[in-house]
Structure 1
Amino acid sequence: MTILTDPFFDSLGTSILDTVEAETLPPGCYTDEEFYRFEKEALFYREWLCVGRVEWLAQPGDYFTTTHANEPLVIAMDRAGAIQAMSSVCQHRAMLVAEGKGNARGFTCPYHHWSYDLDGTLIGAPAMGRTCNFDKRQHSLPRLKVETWHGFIFVNFDLEAASLAPRLAGIEPVVANYDFASLRGPEPAAHEFAWNWKVQFENNNDGYHANRLHKGLHDYIPSSLASFPSVPEGTAGYYRLNGSTHANASFNPTGKALFPVFPALSEEEQNRLLFVNLPPSLSLVVLNDVVIYLIMDARSANTHGLTFGSLYLPEAMEAPDFEEKRRLNDEYTSHIVAQDLHVDLLVQQGLNSRFAPRGRYSWQEDAQRQFNLWLVERYRAEWDRRRGPAAPVSRIQRAS
């Protein structure tokens, strides 16, 4: 039986009330495969999706591959130095034309040797001269829209999508002094996890559990010092702040930054952490000496891919003690991450239960309500598109 009904979408209205009145999204949003397919149309084929960092493409011909919502993609720098994003599915028999990463003059399908330029243009199709009405110009790799934001590369399947940067103007003041674009980092780790992408996204942004699940590990960043500034309507993301009990707090045995602190930070910024959220794909944990980034790739209702990396000042990476300091940070945070991964898995199991609730929020979970606002607006829009312009107005639309 389908959950995609008017009453279901009407019920989402209670998830975007004020935090102290709201309740969580229905469990089916996290577990139902039909709803995941609905999300592809509502979110992943319409919104800007992070795929990586600009510095991963250092010179013409550099490329890397990735996926979003089960779509294989190749991201490349063309000969003019522009970043191109395209499907990596050969337009002959659907073989992938690229794997992994590297540097290439173009992409050649290993199956039948159709060849494509770095922008996806089909330039070679062996033995197709006898094929009726075959025009190479009509068989190039499908291209995606591309933008960069502070060193992160974003793509969009919707070629008519509004530009990303203007929709993030409301976040610019809070990120400006970190200069993400100038930071660099080692190669990130890639994982696949057995829970819904929203479970991961919510955990990254949940200050409520910090002094509870992680008790004793970073009590100097207490849940009680969390705050949730509002952003202008139409902003393509949101953020939260969390004060610290001492300056330049960090996740390591000392509790303080081990690497050089970002030089432009104000005193106020040095006494807090910043969490920037650009759903449905990018979440940033911003400390004062390192930025942790998580790129999420929804693969089914119950699985997602995660690219997990970190960024530092270039001079920090050049220092002879960089690897030792990084090891101290990584070993310490591994305990925190292990706790998060364990609860994420158990939450997904709980969401699949017949007893899964629509729970209530603490004020320290306002980031979850902000996430709900972003989601429900897009869920409603897609449902209205499916019902068509002659569909009756739902109760929740009348109420708003």
Structure 2
Amino acid sequence: MRAHLLNDAFFDGLSTSMEGFETAETLPPACYVDAGFYEFEKEAVFNHEWLCVGRESWVMTPGDYFTTSIIGEPIVVARTRKNELVAMSSVCQHRAMLVAEGHGNTRGFVCPYHHWTYGLDGKLVNAPAMEQTCGFDKKKVALPRFKVEVWLGFVFVNFDLDAAPLAPRLTEIEAALAGYDLSHAEGPRPDPAAKLPWNWKVMFENNNDGYHASRLHQGPLHDFVPSAQSVFPEAAEGAAGYLRFNGTLHPDASFNVTQKALLPVFPKLTEVDRSRMTFANIPPTLSLVVTSDMVIYLIVRADGPETHEMDTGLLFAPGAMQDPAFEHKLAMNMAAASAIIAQDLHVDGLVQAGLRSRFAIRGRYSWQEGAQIAFNRWLTPRYQQTWKAMSADARPRAEVPA
């Protein structure tokens, strides 16, 4: 970001994005395109927030592991021989080679470069030909560990070892999703992540935008969930996420040509659950699109000012995948979902192009964009508080109030 833009006036001006939709403004375009702002955002958001990295079902057996990355930080999640779930940097503490790729089951992590070997808990257990290196003690070497927490079957990590727990700040979202029993929902491991050429916030906003739905997606694949039936519950103070509900024209609506659930409905749903779609959001990484018979989860992983990667996964009611016709029914759902997703991806790319323009401004909101206000209210205080702290640290000591 140009130095003269990263100043008190810029961050004070973000407050208008937290107002009600009647008066609120969108975030400044620079928040989506500027490399300097992205570097600031790493500290303001990603270095201290809980980041979703996958599902606990991917690491159920001792020795299981998977890898991922967020803001360029390589991460490995593993199940130790003591059945402990751990999350660590996958960067070898010798010459920075990555010690793990992909996913699988292993006895430990061997750096392929020089064969330094780490246990599943990240501790260094072998370092060849280091006996003549002065002061080297392998007991003092380990892969850096992160905080880890499991919520409704999703694995979250936090680079900040002093971070407060996540679950107590998601009670409202957990209550809204109770009927889906997501801890026990089943689904395949997602396909390799898509690399998408737009800012992570563009993706997060699109996932939760009720305003565009009846317009961009107009037609038989989406008309059963009209934008006019969007509802935006007020998030509690300090909440780690927010909700959007969207009423449907009939119960058990689903994305396929029949507009009705084809797969088994989650068995614990209430009548209210079955008469709406639920959108649950735990920024900056996890967004859920929830219907009666299928949950689409999106793990959004920022990796640059104008790029991110996204893991797209599916969850179903227990036993649903055992139906001999499961793949055929799912194909009908995915044909509709894929058509809608393609429309979203097309406009997201065009939004990013527009945000680069000199003519991009801070726009205004419709009442059907309540989820964007909720996102701003989660995000903007983190920007402002971090800027305030950084500014105080940068001031000469004599100017800092006692």
User: Which interval holds the TM-score relative to the shorter structure?
Assistant: over 0.9
Matched residue SS, 1:298: strand
The Cα of 1:387 is off from its aligned counterpart by: 1.0
Pick aligned residue for 1:209 from 212, 223, 229:
212
Corresponding position: 1:364 with 2:372: no
Q: Distance in 2 between matches of 1:336 and 1:371?
A: 22
Q: Distance in 2 between matches of 1:390 and 1:99?
A: 39
Matched residue SS, 1:170: helix
| Pair 1:389–1:70, CA change in 2 (3 A) | closer
Matched residue SS, 1:72: strand
Pick aligned residue for 2:118 from 106, 116, 119:
116
Match of 1:287 in 2: 291
The Cα of 1:232 is off from its aligned counterpart by: 1.2
Corresponding position: 1:229 with 2:249: no
Alpha-carbon RMSD across the aligned residues, in angstroms, is: 1.2
Matched residue SS, 1:212: helix
Match of 1:126 in 2: 128
Corresponding position: 1:196 with 2:199: yes
The Cα of 1:77 is off from its aligned counterpart by: 0.4
Corresponding position: 1:351 with 2:368: no
Match of 2:97 in 1: 95
Matched residue SS, 1:26: coil
Q: Which runs of 5+ in 1 are unaligned?
A: 393-400
The Cα of 1:69 is off from its aligned counterpart by: 0.7
The Cα of 1:293 is off from its aligned counterpart by: 0.1
Match of 1:395 in 2: none
Q: Distance in 1 between matches of 2:388 and 2:125?
A: 41
1:325 aligned partner, one-letter code? K
The Cα of 1:391 is off from its aligned counterpart by: 6.5
Pick aligned residue for 1:269 from 255, 263, 273:
273
1:344-380 deviation digits (Å, cap 9, x = unpaired): 0000000000001110000000100100011101101
Q: Distance in 1 between matches of 2:182 and 2:130?
A: 48
Corresponding position: 1:299 with 2:303: yes
Q: Distance in 2 between matches of 1:390 and 1:379?
A: 16
1:177-211 deviation digits (Å, cap 9, x = unpaired): 11001111122131010000000000000010111
1:37-92 deviation digits (Å, cap 9, x = unpaired): 11111111100000000100121000010001100011100001111100000000
Match of 1:52 in 2: 54
44-53 vs 180-189, which deviates more? 180-189
Matched residue SS, 1:206: coil
Q: Distance in 2 between matches of 1:186 and 1:171?
A: 24
2:213 aligned partner, one-letter code? A
1:152-191 deviation digits (Å, cap 9, x = unpaired): 0000000000001111123222111110011111221310
Q: Distance in 2 between matches of 1:159 and 1:319?
A: 43
1:230-278 deviation digits (Å, cap 9, x = unpaired): 1210010001100001001110000011111111111111100100000
Match of 2:399 in 1: none
Contact 2:225-2:247 at 8 Å conserved across structures: yes
Q: Distance in 2 between matches of 1:17 and 1:230?
A: 13
1:284-326 deviation digits (Å, cap 9, x = unpaired): 0011111100001101011000000110013110000000011
Match of 1:174 in 2: 176
Q: Distance in 2 between matches of 1:259 and 1:348?
A: 36
Q: Distance in 1 between matches of 2:6 and 2:186?
A: 43
Contact 2:58-2:189 at 8 Å conserved across structures: no
1:215 aligned partner, one-letter code? Q
Match of 1:252 in 2: 256
Q: Distance in 2 between matches of 1:173 and 1:146?
A: 22
Match of 2:87 in 1: 85
Q: Distance in 2 between matches of 1:140 and 1:202?
A: 38
1:304 aligned partner, one-letter code? H
Corresponding position: 1:32 with 2:34: yes
Contact 1:171-1:231 at 8 Å conserved across structures: no
Match of 1:243 in 2: 247
Contact 2:294-2:315 at 8 Å conserved across structures: yes
Q: Distance in 1 between matches of 2:276 and 2:29?
A: 33
Contact 2:298-2:310 at 8 Å conserved across structures: yes
163-172 vs 369-378, which deviates more? 163-172
2:181 aligned partner, one-letter code? D
The Cα of 1:384 is off from its aligned counterpart by: 1.4
Pick aligned residue for 2:320 from 316, 319, 333:
316
TM-score, scaled to structure 2: 0.96
Pick aligned residue for 1:43 from 39, 42, 45:
45
Q: Distance in 1 between matches of 2:384 and 2:284?
A: 16
Contact 2:77-2:87 at 8 Å conserved across structures: yes
Q: Which runs of 5+ in 2 are unaligned?
A: 397-402
Q: Aligned pairs, how many?
A: 392
Pick aligned residue for 2:150 from 144, 148, 151:
148
% identical aligned pairs: 59
